[in-house]
């Protein structure tokens, strides 16, 4: 077995040193009845690389991968071109196979990139401080709600109807035990009057922009309304590339930003692993969940980095911790930070512009199809169409033509009758003119 270095002779010599007659003696603390043999498991024996690769490649080939077809899915996960250097660098052994940087003297590589990552996230979101990442955007949103309750000591969280339904359900699951949650009605393509729901019990308002239908929201009036009643505004961003073109949430008055960072540096991966971005104002620092890296000096006065403010965390505070989170999304935030470093200001802005231009042209083209109308008037790289028939069937028919033509809103909102005919489409720099023509042609065909 190629991953196990001990030989039978080694094992015998080691048992002799231990003074144990056999392996069973080492397991003598385990009740005899609980020990099972190889035959208990209806599972195959070990295999070589070739066989494993063959088996898994076969499963892989049964899927239509995004790169093998015209592809227009978004709704919380976006396909962007990731430069080759990113994957090469994150596979360096010293990044891939190291642990959480608890021994800073021999983990400056991880600590410095996390410090750089925190800086990038703060700059992108327009906030003062950011942590070293959470699991993903949805769990970051739930953590933001818990944090807003700690800061305000109020129970109620109001979720915008434009918040990604999976995010809303995650918040409802994780934050239900420490307060109440109100979901504003879902009005595709419109900004609901969420300010009217804020009262003196409200800890926070959670608003996504661009929202799940792609609509760009002006957060300023919501922030003002929230602050007037002593509540916080949590801004959610699921497509981080949008911040190359749109005002950052921090500039519009957000108190906490919870975002999905997958779009930079990370592949689609069928939903995970992704990387949750989390940023806030400095005055709320002590209530922020997750790992933080800070700058300091070593015994010779050289600059260095350490995990800091860890007394907020579970391994010290146990049941009084700000969160039970024990990990971040290390390698995914490394991919994010490398890709963003490669882009730089200029590349990031150009990327965002390319996305918006592509989506604007596609929306223009598709909304000319008979019976199709554009629901979202203002958008970044994702928009929603109203079709003359249920979108789920249309998407399936497109898939039969080997086109991955967006996400039917009914998949996310099965109980909203109004969502039945809505199709959410994203276009990025990875879509060619040919892809767009193929989608338009096929959609016309399917709808005719």
Partner 1 sequence: MTMNVVGRPTAPGRAGQSAPATLSGDRGLDHEEPLLFELGRAGMTGVDIVDVPVGGGRLAGLERKTPLGLPGLSEPEIVRHYVRLSRMNYAIDSGLYPLGSCTMKHNPRLNEKMARLPGFGDLHPLQPQQTAQGALTLISELMRWLTTLTGMSAVAMSPKAGAHGELCGLLTIRAALAARGENRTRILVPSSAHGTNPATAALAGYTVDAVPAKDDGLVDADALQAMLAPDVAAIMLTNPNTCGLFEGRIAEIGRAVHAAGAYFYCDGANFNAIAGRVRPGDLGIDAMHINLHKTFSTPHGGGGPGAGPVVLSAALAPFAPLPLLVYSANNLRLIEDRDAVPTDAKPFGRMCAFHGQMGMFVRALSYMLSHGADGIRQASEDAVLAANYILASLKDVLSAPFEGPCMHEALFDDTFLHDTGVTTLDFAKAMIDEGYHPMTMYFPLVVHGAMLIEPTESESKESLDRFIAVMRGLAEEAKAGNHARFAEAPYLAPRRRLDETRAARKPILRWTPQVLSEAAK
Partner 2 sequence: MSETRYTDQHEWVRIDGDTATIGISKYAADQLGDVVYVELPEAGRKAVQGGDIAVVESVKAASEVYAPVSGEVTEANPALGGDPAKINADPEGEGWFFKLKLANTAELEKLMTEAQYAEFLKGL
Distances (CA, A) of 321 to 23, 80, 309, 359: 41, 37, 12, 44
Least Cα distance to 158 among 130, 192, 209 occurs for: 192
Site for partner 1 in 105-124 (CB under 8 A): 105-110, 112-113, 115-116, 118-120, 122-124
182 binds, among partner 1, partner 2, none (CB under 5 to 8 A by kind): none
Q: Which residue has the tokens 């891939």?
A: 96
Does the protein bind partner 1 through residue 193 (CB under 8 A)?
Answer: no
Classify residue 308 by burial, with Cβ atoms within 10 Å: 0-12, 13-18, 19+.
middle
Torsion of CA 313, 314, 316, 319, to 10 degrees: 120
Sole binder of partner 1 in the list 223, 268, 423, 443 (CB under 8 A): 268
Residues in contact with partner 2, shown as a per-residue x/- string from 279 to 298 under the rule CB under 8 A: -------x------------
Does the protein bind partner 1 through residue 203 (CB under 8 A)?
Answer: no
Does the protein bind partner 1 through residue 251 (CB under 8 A)?
Answer: yes
Hey, CA dihedral for 15, 21, 24, 25, is it positive or negative?
Answer: negative
- Helix/strand/coil for 394: helix
> Minimum distance between the CB of residue 109 and partner 2, rounded to whole angstroms?
22
Hey, CA dihedral for 186, 192, 196, 199, is it positive or negative?
Answer: positive
Distances (CA, A) of 242 to 162, 166, 228, 277: 16, 20, 28, 14
Give me the residues paired with residue 379 across strands: 215
Sole binder of partner 1 in the list 348, 382, 386, 443 (CB under 8 A): 348
Sole binder of partner 2 in the list 251, 316, 326, 399 (CB under 8 A): 316
State phi, psi for 37 to the nearest 5 degrees. -100, 175
Sole binder of partner 2 in the list 149, 312, 339, 358 (CB under 8 A): 312
Least Cα distance to 437 among 387, 408, 399, 403 occurs for: 403
Nearer to partner 1 (CB atom), residue 12 or residue 228 = 12
Does the protein bind partner 1 through residue 448 (CB under 8 A)?
Answer: no
Nearer to partner 2 (CB atom), residue 308 or residue 373 = 308
Which span (68-76, 149-157, 200-208, 224-232) binds partner 1, by CB under 8 A? 68-76
> Minimum distance between the CB of residue 388 and partner 1, rounded to whole angstroms?
20
Distances (CA, A) of 375 to 233, 366, 443: 26, 12, 17
> Minimum distance between the CB of residue 354 and partner 1, rounded to whole angstroms?
5
Does the protein bind partner 2 through residue 153 (CB under 8 A)?
Answer: no
Residues in contact with partner 1, shown as a per-residue x/- string from 156 to 185 under the rule CB under 8 A: --------x-xx-xx-xxx-xxx-------
Nearer to partner 2 (CB atom), residue 38 or residue 320 = 320
Least Cα distance to 447 among 383, 382, 368, 375 occurs for: 368
Taking the C-alpha atoms of residue 63 and residue 208, their distance in angstroms, rounded to an integer, is 31
312 binds, among partner 1, partner 2, none (CB under 5 to 8 A by kind): partner 2
Applying CB under 8 A, the site for partner 2 has a residue count of 7
Site for partner 2 in 247-286 (CB under 8 A): 286
**Residue 381 DSSP class:** S
Q: How far is CA 288 from the centre of its chain?
A: 18
Tokens for 350, please give them. Answer: 């150009």
> Minimum distance between the CB of residue 320 and partner 1, rounded to whole angstroms?
7
Does the protein bind partner 1 through residue 280 (CB under 8 A)?
Answer: no
Sole binder of partner 2 in the list 11, 92, 317, 353 (CB under 8 A): 317
Per CB under 8 A, residues contacting partner 2 are 286, 309, 311-312, 316-317, 320
């Amino acid at each position: 077995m190629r991953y196990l270095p001990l030989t039978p002779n080694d094992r015998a010599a080691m048992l002799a040193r231990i003074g144990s007659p056999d392996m069973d003696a080492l397991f003598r603390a385990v009740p005899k009845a609980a020990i099972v043999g190889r035959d208990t498991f209806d599972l195959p024996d070990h295999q070589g690389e070739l066989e494993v690769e063959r088996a898994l490649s076969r499963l892989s080939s049964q899927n239509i991968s995004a790169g093998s077809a015209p592809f227009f899915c978004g709704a919380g996960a976006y396909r962007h071109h990731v430069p080759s250097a990113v994957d090469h660098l994150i596979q360096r052994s010293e990044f891939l196979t190291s642990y959480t940087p608890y021994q800073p003297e021999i983990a400056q590589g991880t600590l410095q990139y996390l410090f750089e990552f925190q800086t990038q996230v703060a700059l992108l979101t327009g906030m003062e401080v950011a942590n070293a990442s959470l699991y993903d955007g949805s769990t970051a949103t739930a953590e933001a709600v818990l944090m807003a309750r700690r800061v305000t000591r109020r129970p109620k969280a109001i979720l915008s109807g434009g918040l990604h339904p999976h995010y809303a359900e995650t918040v409802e699951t994780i934050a239900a035990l420490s307060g109440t949650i109100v979901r504003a009605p879902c009005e595709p393509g419109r900004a609901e009057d969420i300010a009217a729901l804020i009262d003196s019990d409200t800890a926070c308002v959670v608003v996504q922009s661009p929202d799940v239908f792609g609509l760009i929201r002006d957060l300023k009036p919501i922030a003002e309304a929230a602050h007037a009643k002593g509540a916080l505004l949590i801004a959610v961003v699921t497509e981080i590339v949008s911040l190359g073109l749109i005002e950052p949430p921090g500039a519009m008055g957000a108190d906490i930003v919870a975002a999905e960072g997958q779009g930079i540096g990370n592949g689609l991966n069928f939903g995970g692993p992704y990387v949750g971005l989390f940023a806030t104002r400095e005055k709320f620092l002590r209530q922020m969940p997750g790992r933080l890296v800070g700058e300091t000096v070593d015994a010779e006065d050289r600059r260095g980095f350490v995990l800091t403010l860890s007394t907020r965390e579970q391994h010290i505070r146990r049941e009084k911790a700000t969160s039970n989170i024990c990990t971040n999304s290390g390698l995914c935030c490394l991919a994010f930070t490398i890709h963003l470093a490669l882009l730089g200001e200029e590349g990031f802005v150009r990327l965002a512009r390319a996305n918006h231009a592509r989506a604007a042209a596609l929306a223009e083209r598709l909304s000319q199809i008979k019976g199709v109308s554009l629901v979202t008037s203002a958008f970044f790289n994702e928009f929603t169409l109203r079709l003359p028939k249920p979108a789920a069937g249309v998407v399936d028919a497109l898939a039969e033509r080997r086109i991955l033509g967006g996400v039917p809103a009914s998949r996310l909102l099965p109980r909203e009758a109004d969502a039945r005919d809505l199709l959410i489409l994203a276009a990025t720099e990875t879509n060619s003119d040919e892809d767009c023509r193929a989608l338009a042609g096929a959609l016309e065909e399917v709808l005719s």
